[in-house]
Structure 1
């Protein structure tokens, strides 16, 4: 047995502990199993996470690769979060999934790990865990589903749900026809086929260097995904032999490249809060300002919903992620390495764009400046973000009177009230939706528009919220307002009729109310009543310890890496 293997701490020796550890694992494994690298397959497959259900098949390909390379594959089911299923929001449990995965990796005789994720929160949670425990690790994204069609037209997961729902509310689409699209939208295995959070985080993981280059974005039904999973299993054994853990190559430059990639593909705003959390686990000083500084001048090159017209299988056939990165190669950090030990930029020479309508060349971008904009001002002292690529250009500089909703329940109760004092120039404000307030920072910032305005043809308004929005959503939405209302932010003090000024170019979000008047205001009873106040369990722990969005909404006691060492031996 190699004394250099971490698993030797469990299996080496002749004492009773080593005997028990070895004996209980001898269930069909090779006789020399304890002398081989032990590779965990952290699998988020679950029937209640439909986008990840196929990862059991992917795990088998990983196992085959691990065995072929001389390792022992050990499937490790971990907490799985189905974005479409769990209430109140999957984000409430991202940190719990990361914590549980970290602890199980640390507690078991594991030398390396293959991370299988797909649905929105699973890849972020796995990356947070891997960063914290710092064992050799490689990510295998589960891949997007193929495009579904209804009456000859493609359907984008999420994006066409939001769009069709508004058309039903506007009276332009019948409810029966709307329901019939359900059977066509989800065509098969895989996660959302738009450039939503799932696809974004798969690509971001590759930009960070945690995925074998060229894999992210491969559709879930594509046989090449299984081939890449097999290769990732083989590669995990190699990573252990070389001792290449995440902290050996993840640097500030890695996150620089992730931010460039995020802008170039028109990725989800959720990537901001996830990247901040991952960086926090690594001890890398990443801030909101870095997203603006690095991403502001990056062109949008990917013509995918919600910022464009096509879907992820189009993206893959058009050349995929490496083709996009080649176009912005000069903006990437050339020193940032991948898990292979080679720089990310070393994999771009052979990449090509095969469909310039889906992936546009650098010379003819969809938008010249597509980075996520970070706003500050009297309404967001520590920052808020907006995605210009998904917004209406005429609303990026806007002044309007606030129409305030004190909670999600208040919004749902009043948004379609014909007597609601609102017009197309109003600014919809929703609060109590931040990490502490709901809790979990739900995806509600892309508020539905008032029915009476939809009926008049209005399809976008400025919306301001301390929550998140789905990566499949669109519109002029200012979100992640920090500090959130429940943490004492000025959003809690906004009243109906207050003037709000948005100027994305100037990076400003201001409440036109004097500091003296704000100081005299108090939080109204309806707002305070809407804040979360759990008495027990994970929600209580979460509310007591969650950080704000500008710090990644991680738990304060989980920031930083704690390594792979187990503090005490088994007895």
Structure 2
């Protein structure tokens, strides 16, 4: 395969002089520019992204592998998105980061790229950007942190929601709360549970974009560095073979990712990100595909938030290859991966070492998995719910709506003793969708009213056009589309309206006539969001709805690796 980098470093005269001379100020000898594959290392290291704070060291392991295989590694930074720091929500900037990645790859002397991904949005943004350029690509994830330890037991991010409830109810002191806070994130890496970060790592492995075991080796385990080293070695070979993401990311690969995610009880955010990636590579993926393909897959992984254990435990039990092997009768086993072997070949010898963590298809951990895609007059374009994390007694439920017009309204009134709410009610949160917030924050798993928690109730049906953290749980309906900010029927819900959730029949119904809804729509006024300039203004004008992946409308489809102009 012709090397892209030769169009930079292979030139003679003035142009070649310019491209090589300034690179040599870093101490690179001339022979490094004489035909070696240039491997870009796209690094999302940042001290503002704690999940990725160990990436400097991990990048050095990748470089060792690239040097060993005869390549020329060049590391470059791109925008880093950390869930626990960036405001108002990391999702607002996913598309911006993908543009940064796309243009950084295309505009530079890179023959292949290794994406260093960790915290939730870093993985989809980097994959979206790289797929748009379509040069040989591999992913190295940062790995999950070790499980926390608090008062004699393991804890992880999902326990945050439990601690918050206990603290709110006075069952946990301020000192205990601080002690738990110090005990949870006790090593490098991203969330220890099957939240969005680990879901994304599993996504890239099941899509075939990483080496086996990428998804589950703990960040603190030396084998994470070995995987990084071997990725560097393989990346040089992949460039020589000329294998691009478009050859790996087939319809069959996307189907595999959906089924594996179902078996893991992965995050609902998976739907938005996989849909956006599919849009970049031209694979037709609909919301219904997630429901149809998940429906035949039981929950195999006993991991928080749907179960008990942690991603660290999943690795010790056999890792993602063991889960994939258990699904061999339904997966597209011939789908090719970046190591040159099919996904079936990669997992043929995998074993489960702990059936308490990885169950069998014949005796699953739970029969329900994946996502349920709901339809109805409240969500004509769909909404999603995670059955494995929901309460069985609420999967078929009718209740009256308690409406919050936006997140500020929710925060102001949720613990008001005079709030007219009982455990049978349905909490409805509007204006937290892609445009309405903007950025579609992870507020869908609303904390319950204090007066309800005092009754010993820990779950209610909750509905919004927003998202939920992959670490969250509960009977939570998310991604309602169209969103309320653009006049979707969610905007028209009023206090006291009856709503029926029927997961088995995939239905979400507002008991209000079409005539009444039409009358309410006459009085609907779009939000004045107040963003008249900059990136957020661009976002509001061009972001698509949740069922389309919340990507920008002008970013669908690939753009290729060709640089249109050359200033030299």
Classify the TM-score, shorter chain.
over 0.9
Any idea what the Cα deviations from partners look like across 1:434-491, whole Å, max 9, x if unmatched?
Answer: 0000000000000010000001101000000000000000000000000000122100
Query: 2:101 maps to what in 1?
Result: 101
**Of 531, 542, 547, which residue of structure 1 is paired with 2:544?**
547
SS, match of residue 144 in structure 1 = coil
Any idea what the Cα deviations from partners look like across 1:184-217, whole Å, max 9, x if unmatched?
Answer: 0110100000000000000111000000122221
Deviation at 1:171, TM superposition (A): 2.7
Query: 1:258 maps to what in 2?
Result: 257
Deviation at 1:178, TM superposition (A): 1.4
Q: How many residues align?
A: 566
- How far apart, in 2, do the equivalents of 1:372 and 1:45 lie? 32
Query: Does residue 176 of structure 2 align to residue 177 of structure 1?
Result: yes
Q: Is the 8 A contact 1:71 1:237 kept in 2?
A: yes
**Of 530, 533, 539, which residue of structure 2 is paired with 1:533?**
530
Deviation at 1:79, TM superposition (A): 0.6
Query: 2:18 maps to what in 1?
Result: 20
- How far apart, in 1, do the equivalents of 2:318 and 2:37 lie? 35
SS, match of residue 125 in structure 1 = helix
- How far apart, in 1, do the equivalents of 2:309 and 2:329 lie? 26
Q: Is the 8 A contact 1:297 1:369 kept in 2?
A: no
Query: 1:205 maps to what in 2?
Result: 204
**Of 549, 553, 556, which residue of structure 2 is paired with 1:556?**
553
Query: 1:67 maps to what in 2?
Result: 67
Query: 2:76 maps to what in 1?
Result: 76
Query: 2:2 maps to what in 1?
Result: 4
Deviation at 1:524, TM superposition (A): 7.0
- How far apart, in 2, do the equivalents of 1:13 and 1:556 lie? 37
- How far apart, in 2, do the equivalents of 1:532 and 1:261 lie? 39
Q: Is the 8 A contact 2:209 2:248 kept in 1?
A: no
Deviation at 1:429, TM superposition (A): 0.2
Q: Is the 8 A contact 1:297 1:371 kept in 2?
A: no
- How far apart, in 1, do the equivalents of 2:401 and 2:550 lie? 27
Deviation at 1:331, TM superposition (A): 1.2
- How far apart, in 1, do the equivalents of 2:563 and 2:530 lie? 35
Deviation at 1:176, TM superposition (A): 2.4
- How far apart, in 1, do the equivalents of 2:151 and 2:368 lie? 35
TM-score normalised to structure 1 length:
0.98
- How far apart, in 2, do the equivalents of 1:215 and 1:271 lie? 17
Query: 1:126 maps to what in 2?
Result: 126
Any idea what the Cα deviations from partners look like across 1:484-510, whole Å, max 9, x if unmatched?
Answer: 001221000000000001000000001
Q: Is the 8 A contact 2:115 2:126 kept in 1?
A: yes
- How far apart, in 1, do the equivalents of 2:4 and 2:357 lie? 46
Query: Does residue 394 of structure 2 align to residue 395 of structure 1?
Result: yes
Query: 1:238 maps to what in 2?
Result: 237
Query: 1:58 maps to what in 2?
Result: 58
Any idea what the Cα deviations from partners look like across 1:228-274, whole Å, max 9, x if unmatched?
Answer: 10010111111110111101221000000000011000000000000
Query: 1:565 maps to what in 2?
Result: 562
Q: Residues 524, 415 of structure 1: CA spacing in aligned structure 2 closer, same or farther, 3 A cutoff?
A: farther
Query: 1:286 maps to what in 2?
Result: 285
Query: 2:298 maps to what in 1?
Result: 299
RMSD, aligned α-carbons: 1.2
Query: Does residue 189 of structure 2 align to residue 186 of structure 1?
Result: no
- How far apart, in 2, do the equivalents of 1:298 and 1:265 lie? 10
More divergent stretch after superposition (341-350 vs 488-497): 341-350
- How far apart, in 2, do the equivalents of 1:533 and 1:301 lie? 46
Deviation at 1:359, TM superposition (A): 1.2
Q: Which runs of 5+ in 2 are unaligned?
A: none
Q: Is the 8 A contact 1:492 1:523 kept in 2?
A: no
- How far apart, in 1, do the equivalents of 2:49 and 2:461 lie? 33
- How far apart, in 1, do the equivalents of 2:431 and 2:200 lie? 26
Any idea what the Cα deviations from partners look like across 1:393-435, whole Å, max 9, x if unmatched?
Answer: 0100000000000000000000000110100000000010000
- How far apart, in 2, do the equivalents of 1:116 and 1:351 lie? 25
Deviation at 1:10, TM superposition (A): 1.1
More divergent stretch after superposition (137-146 vs 31-40): 31-40
Q: Is the 8 A contact 1:493 1:523 kept in 2?
A: no
Query: 1:499 maps to what in 2?
Result: 498
SS, match of residue 217 in structure 2 = coil
Q: Is the 8 A contact 1:397 1:504 kept in 2?
A: yes
Deviation at 1:30, TM superposition (A): 3.2
- How far apart, in 2, do the equivalents of 1:13 and 1:226 lie? 36
Q: Is the 8 A contact 2:112 2:239 kept in 1?
A: yes
Query: Does residue 474 of structure 2 align to residue 475 of structure 1?
Result: yes
Q: Is the 8 A contact 2:201 2:214 kept in 1?
A: no
Q: Is the 8 A contact 1:207 1:254 kept in 2?
A: yes
Any idea what the Cα deviations from partners look like across 1:510-533, whole Å, max 9, x if unmatched?
Answer: 1000000000014878x855x633
Deviation at 1:52, TM superposition (A): 0.2
Q: Residues 164, 523 of structure 1: CA spacing in aligned structure 2 closer, same or farther, 3 A cutoff?
A: farther
SS, match of residue 9 in structure 1 = helix
More divergent stretch after superposition (428-437 vs 176-185): 176-185
SS, match of residue 264 in structure 1 = helix
Displacement over 6 Å in runs of 4+? none
Query: Does residue 327 of structure 2 align to residue 328 of structure 1?
Result: yes
- How far apart, in 2, do the equivalents of 1:69 and 1:347 lie? 22
